[in-house]
Amino acid sequence: MMIQPIQPGFVGVVTGIDICQPLTAPEVAQIEAGMDSFAVLSFPNQPLTDEQQVVFSANFGELEIPLAAQMMAPEKRRFQKIELGDISNFDGKNTDKLRDREDSRRMYALANRLWHSDASFRAVGAGYTLLHSRVNPTKGGNTEFADMRAAYDALDAKTKALVDDMIVGHSIVYSREQIGFEVKGDADNLKPVKHRLVVTHPVTGRKSLYLSSHIGEIDGWLIPEARAFLRDLTEHATQRQFVYSHKWEVNDLVMWDNRTVMHRATRFDDLKERRDLRRTSIKGVGLGVDSVPVQQAAE
């Protein structure tokens, strides 16, 4: 196995391994070490089945069950494997029909075009996310990644001191609000969860900004002040020198660490062209993205 960085220290291309087959423990360790170094790994030419994607993902921890799959009746699910997230623009199981312009699933998914970290609105955010490409549009539909370690390092000392102990509230409501989409549903899932804005990687010890468009508040700050500050910080953190844009090829598998990168989708002509990606996510238990205990958050 060989890992070749695309940018110094950020995004590695992994070749010389067949991840459709079960991995050995040293291979898993090597991939994890690669993730620690590069935050994003891209595996080209891996024709994974759904089952193989789940098996490969499970090497890295416990898989999350996507919210949408949880809430959907089994017969409506597109995939047999409940762990797979449907990142397509298909009208459910009917893969020949694309979602209509006004489809609420489409509206909801448009917020993926905002910079975010997966599941940061949960008490335990996602660790790794793995995305496998099956169908791509002719133009657009890239996934962009921003290195939150480099973004943290590039802050001036004063801003570091300001953000180091900051506690922020994340909710799916906040990211959808930004594009004028109202999320309705179970109030418990929508309640903001508190995370530290700066997290320390348990292996490398590097600090990074745990930013996400799901953030809507900073403890102790007035809302408009907090939002203005978070926008500026996000702008800083997503400057082009910190960003890699992945142009998908069929059978690419890209995995990233949500603790150290943000990502977003770029636009494509989703009313005319098909795009099918399948997502698995690993729970970030014990990885430094657990929510801040309520008591500590109140201090």
Positions that interact with other proteins (CB under 8 A): 101-102, 107, 110-111, 113-114, 176, 178-181, 216, 222-229, 231-232, 239-240, 266-267
Minimum CB separation of residue 224 from other proteins in Å reads 4
Minimum CB separation of residue 179 from other proteins in Å reads 4
Residue closer to other proteins (CB basis): 205 or 224: 224
Residue closer to other proteins (CB basis): 93 or 267: 267
Tell me the CA distances in angstroms from 126 to 30, 255, 271, 292, one per residue in order: 21, 12, 30, 15
Minimum CB separation of residue 242 from other proteins in Å reads 13
Residue closer to other proteins (CB basis): 158 or 299: 158
Minimum CB separation of residue 94 from other proteins in Å reads 21
Neighbours of 138 (CB within 10 A): 9
Give alpha helix (H) positions in the chain.
Answer: 25-38, 50-58, 67-71, 104-110, 148-153, 157-163, 172-177, 187-190, 223-237, 294-298
Nearest Cα neighbor of 167 from 69, 74, 293 is: 293
Residue closer to other proteins (CB basis): 79 or 229: 229
Residue closer to other proteins (CB basis): 189 or 266: 266
Minimum CB separation of residue 282 from other proteins in Å reads 28
Instruction: Return all residues near 228 (Cβ < 8 A) that are at least 6 apart.
Output: none
3-state DSSP helix/strand/coil percent for the chain, to nearest 5?
A: 30, 30, 40
Dihedral sign, CA of 261, 132, 42, 265?
negative
